[in-house]
Chain A
Amino acid sequence: MNFLRIKSQAAVKRELIPDIAPEKLSAETALMCNEGKRIVSLFGSREDAGVRVYSVLADDEASSLYVSSALVKEGGTYPSITSRLFSAQLFEREIHEEFGIIPEGHPWLKPVRYPGHAADKNLKMEEYPFFIMEGNQVHEVAVGPVHAGVIEPGHFRFMCTGEKVHHLEIQLGYQHRGVEKLMKEKDSVFLSESTAGDTVIGHSLAYCRAKEALSGTEVSDSAEAVRAVMLELERAGVHLGDLSALAGDIAYLPGNAVFGAIRTMIINTSLAICGSRFGRGIIRPGGVVFGIDGDLQEQVNNTLDEYEKKIDLTCSVMFEASSVLSRMQTTGVVDKKTAEEIGMTGMAARASGYEVDCRADHPFGAYTHVPVYKRGMKNGDVFARAYLRYVEIKQSFKLIRELMDYNRNINLMADMKPQQPSMFVVSLTEGWRGEISHCVMTDKEGKIERYKIKDPSFNNWPALALAVRGNGISDFPLCNKSFNLSYCGFDL
């Protein structure tokens, strides 16, 4: 195979990345994935002679990544990967939209987010080519971009007969702020913190570790421990918020109130550490700005002890209530085969039995000392995604306690060395939603030439669309919440 084997968060010289024919890149990507690897990222980068397409794959069992590339000339075509490998579909649409090159044979070459669509600049948000279902009894329900609650915008189009949803098409792009382009211009940790506001730590960590790899800067164990503590606090905080919201969606008010209040305590712990409830301002290239000293450490541990008991009690009551189970079980199912086929990631994938977790598969930072054992469920329904959150909260609490042993509160910030020229790095982080990948390339002067972000939402939005098929439309909010995907993280 014409792929270079690399590791997550280890920079390599760009000249080492194979340059093969586009047909070969397509064929080999599909072949390798059909043999058990998976796509981490597929993206384009502009060069003088055209658009270079990069294919980054993961071999999770061997903790390795593979990368290769092919040059497609401006406005040219190449054989689509999607026709042989479904999980490539959204990546190829994105490349088409950004650069105008055509993946020939792509069965569903629709817009992704319309940022001045390279292939057709006249396309408008309101003219999205929705899939149309015809028939006597068929009706459409259109929702958004502005939704009923205080959430981000996106448009959902349901095709139903009566209450039953046959197909859901999700149109995104409303939140497009041009993050990747700004990243190239500004190279700023602040952009990574605002890529998705519920994944501040996840994205800023991916950014900082990419920068550290590109410059060969070593970060202390203490700093890595604090980073991982923050990442786990973020995971626990969001999962608690989601449990609260899920309980709210099925009108189970005790769960709604209690998890909401406990979440407040957890994110206030983040505030006590770094001054921000969502972890802004702590992760910086070279280390962390704030440590967790003795008193604070005790405070964190006490908080976890106290609230773990409350979480246990509430979960034991909630997950036994028949009214809860009847709404959650067998609702919004994504089976394991589908999860693998469409390339799902993170907690939602694990709830379907597809166990991927970069903390275990591609350990980074403190996770090289403190191992993570993958947790999963089988059923892939709303219940599995809810219950797995509970399991993961407990796992995060346990990890935080273990991580504290590596927290010596010394050398929290290393001096950054200069960024090396003409390098390539893939930085993977397991955010609370799943795998975050930042692929970064530097130019001849060591400045950023291409910054490609992939939020786990990119993998999982198609899963939501499939999960609601055959369900009643009134279960949509519940299904949606059980995934809790990011609009901004997708739209960038």
Chain B
Amino acid sequence: MFGIIKVRIMQGDQAIPDVKKAVLNPAFRGFPVISPGCGRLSFDADKICPTGALKNDPVSIDMGKCVFCGECGRACKNAEIEMSYCHHISADSREKLIIKPGDKYLEFEDAAVMARAEIKRLFGRSLKLRQVSAGGCNGCEMELNACTNVNFDMGRFGIDFVASPRHADGIVITGPVTKNMAPALEDTYKAIASPKIIIAAGTCAISGGIFKDSEELDRSFFDRHKVDLYVPGCQVHPLTFVNGVLRFLGHK
């Protein structure tokens, strides 16, 4: 008994007090900053970038394809590209994830996720999510789990993962969607009562990521259903996920 009390006192309060304002270690690779007027890169983008996220002439980086490896930044002679440690990189449309020369983080963040009145009304105080891993390597899955731990504690906003799709208001998809998982993904989505939302978490889910050319994928789910929120990352950082969802629900 005394032991447990000692442990409890040692533990103290581990929760991040304000997850919206929390800042990550500068080593983190998040929002890519491309210097304004950067026309052509001094290297072959296709050789350096493993997923085709980086385009040359005109230069752009698609965060939906990017695995945030930082190779492009290192290949730059004049620091045309730098991966900043800014992590509020979720967006409500695929186009918004494409970053161009001169794009500024604060402007991106402001416009990236627009809260819809309907969503705010329905799910603003309570959002229950069913997670489906469809070929996810367990990186994003572990980080989504971390969202509920004592540090990130997204339950405090009424956001939770639930076991049954019948209890859920939406689905969070991770992984590039393998052929073998495609039917189960569709079934799980169907089992959720409408109205419902779809969140694609992680680069694999958004674009197939590093696996995009594999014959073993079946991404037709995304042809049939519209994604409401894209959360980039490889793996997704818990704070990227929590803040993306909070914005989506209309928290400022």
> Which of A125, A152, A173, A274 is close to B141, meaning CB atoms less than 8 Å apart?
A152
B117 contacts chain A at the CB level, 8 A cutoff: no
| List of B residues within 8 angstroms of A289 by Cβ | 70, 74
**B11 near A261 (CB under 8 angstroms)?**
yes
A252 nearest CB neighbor, chain B only: B4
A278, B68: Cα distance in complex, Å: 13
Q: Which of B215-252 contact A (CB under 8 A)?
A: 215-217, 234-235, 237
**B184 near A176 (CB under 8 angstroms)?**
no
| List of B residues within 8 angstroms of A129 by Cβ | none
B215 nearest CB neighbor, chain A only: A178
**B133 near A153 (CB under 8 angstroms)?**
yes
A257 contacts chain B at the CB level, 8 A cutoff: yes
**A278 near B144 (CB under 8 angstroms)?**
no
B145 contacts chain A at the CB level, 8 A cutoff: yes
**A175 near B11 (CB under 8 angstroms)?**
no
**A190 near B217 (CB under 8 angstroms)?**
no
Given contacts A149-B163, A174-B178, A281-B29, contact A257 B11 (CB under 8 A): yes
Q: Which of A140-158 contact B (CB under 8 A)?
A: 145-146, 148-153
A195, B3: Cα distance in complex, Å: 41
> Which of A174, A196, A274, A316 is close to B3, meaning CB atoms less than 8 Å apart?
A316
Given contacts A197-B142, A197-B235, A488-B136, contact A182 B214 (CB under 8 A): yes
| List of A residues within 8 angstroms of B184 by Cβ | 145-146, 153, 174
| List of B residues within 8 angstroms of A195 by Cβ | 137
**B181 near A153 (CB under 8 angstroms)?**
yes
**A310 near B29 (CB under 8 angstroms)?**
no
B74 nearest CB neighbor, chain A only: A289
**A178 near B137 (CB under 8 angstroms)?**
no
| List of A residues within 8 angstroms of B42 by Cβ | none
A-B contact count (CB 8 A): 184
Find the residue from A113, A152, A185, A486 having the highest chain B CB count within 10 A: A152
> Which of B14, B83, B181, B234 is close to A175, meaning CB atoms less than 8 Å apart?
B181
* Nearest CB on A from B105, distance (A): 17
**B163 near A254 (CB under 8 angstroms)?**
no
> Which of B7, B139, B146, B210 is close to A191, meaning CB atoms less than 8 Å apart?
B210
B206 contacts chain A at the CB level, 8 A cutoff: no
Given contacts A314-B7, A316-B3, A320-B3, contact A146 B138 (CB under 8 A): no
Interface size on A, residues (CB 8 A): 63
| List of A residues within 8 angstroms of B163 by Cβ | 148-149
**A198 near B142 (CB under 8 angstroms)?**
yes
| List of B residues within 8 angstroms of A151 by Cβ | 133, 138, 141
**B150 near A260 (CB under 8 angstroms)?**
yes
Q: Chain A 366-408, CB within 8 Å of chain B: the 1/0 string?
A: 0000000000000000000000000000000000000000000
| List of A residues within 8 angstroms of B145 by Cβ | 149-150
A284, B230: Cα distance in complex, Å: 29
B234 nearest CB neighbor, chain A only: A280
| List of B residues within 8 angstroms of A191 by Cβ | 210
* Nearest CB on B from A366, distance (A): 22
Given contacts A174-B184, A271-B25, contact A278 B146 (CB under 8 A): no
B29 nearest CB neighbor, chain A only: A275
A52, B234: Cα distance in complex, Å: 37
* Nearest CB on B from A170, distance (A): 15
A62 contacts chain B at the CB level, 8 A cutoff: no
**B137 near A197 (CB under 8 angstroms)?**
yes
| List of A residues within 8 angstroms of B133 by Cβ | 150-153, 175
B124 contacts chain A at the CB level, 8 A cutoff: no
A268 contacts chain B at the CB level, 8 A cutoff: yes
B21 contacts chain A at the CB level, 8 A cutoff: no
> Which of A149, A317, A320 is close to B6, meaning CB atoms less than 8 Å apart?
A317
Q: Which of A106-126 contact B (CB under 8 A)?
A: 113-115, 125-126
**B67 near A313 (CB under 8 angstroms)?**
no
Given contacts A173-B180, A174-B184, contact A153 B134 (CB under 8 A): yes
| List of A residues within 8 angstroms of B151 by Cβ | 260-261, 264
Q: Which of B71-107 contact A (CB under 8 A)?
A: 74, 83
Given contacts A174-B181, A177-B178, A261-B14, contact A196 B6 (CB under 8 A): no
| List of B residues within 8 angstroms of A310 by Cβ | 10
Q: Chain B 173-184, CB within 8 Å of chain A: the 1/0 string?
A: 001101111011
Q: Chain B 1-25, CB within 8 Å of chain A: the 1/0 string?
A: 0011011101100100000000011
> Which of A176, A268, A271 is close to B178, meaning CB atoms less than 8 Å apart?
A176
Q: Chain B 114-137, CB within 8 Å of chain A: the 1/0 string?
A: 000000000000000001111111
**B7 near A258 (CB under 8 angstroms)?**
yes
**A264 near B149 (CB under 8 angstroms)?**
yes
**A114 near B27 (CB under 8 angstroms)?**
no
A276 contacts chain B at the CB level, 8 A cutoff: yes
| List of B residues within 8 angstroms of A173 by Cβ | 180
| List of A residues within 8 angstroms of B6 by Cβ | 313, 317
B56 contacts chain A at the CB level, 8 A cutoff: no
| List of A residues within 8 angstroms of B83 by Cβ | 275
A65, B69: Cα distance in complex, Å: 35
**B175 near A175 (CB under 8 angstroms)?**
yes
Given contacts A178-B215, A195-B137, contact A272 B25 (CB under 8 A): yes
**B137 near A275 (CB under 8 angstroms)?**
no
A188, B69: Cα distance in complex, Å: 13
* Nearest CB on A from B185, distance (A): 8
A264, B146: Cα distance in complex, Å: 9
A261, B15: Cα distance in complex, Å: 9
A46 contacts chain B at the CB level, 8 A cutoff: no
B161 contacts chain A at the CB level, 8 A cutoff: yes
A241 contacts chain B at the CB level, 8 A cutoff: yes
* Nearest CB on A from B152, distance (A): 9
A sample of 29 cross-chain residue pairs with beta-carbon separation below 8 angstroms, ordered by A number, consists of: A114-B180, A150-B141, A150-B145, A151-B138, A153-B132, A178-B211, A178-B214, A182-B211, A188-B50, A194-B211, A196-B138, A197-B137, A197-B142, A241-B142, A254-B8, A257-B14, A257-B150, A260-B151, A261-B11, A261-B151, A268-B25, A272-B25, A280-B67, A280-B234, A280-B235, A281-B68, A289-B74, A314-B10, A488-B137
The 4 closest A-B pairs by CB, nearest first: A197-B139, A197-B137, A317-B3, A148-B163
Known: A198-B142, A261-B14, A317-B6; 12 extra A-B contacts, CB below 8 A, are A153-B132, A173-B180, A177-B216, A194-B204, A264-B149, A271-B27, A276-B28, A277-B235, A278-B235, A280-B67, A314-B10, A320-B3
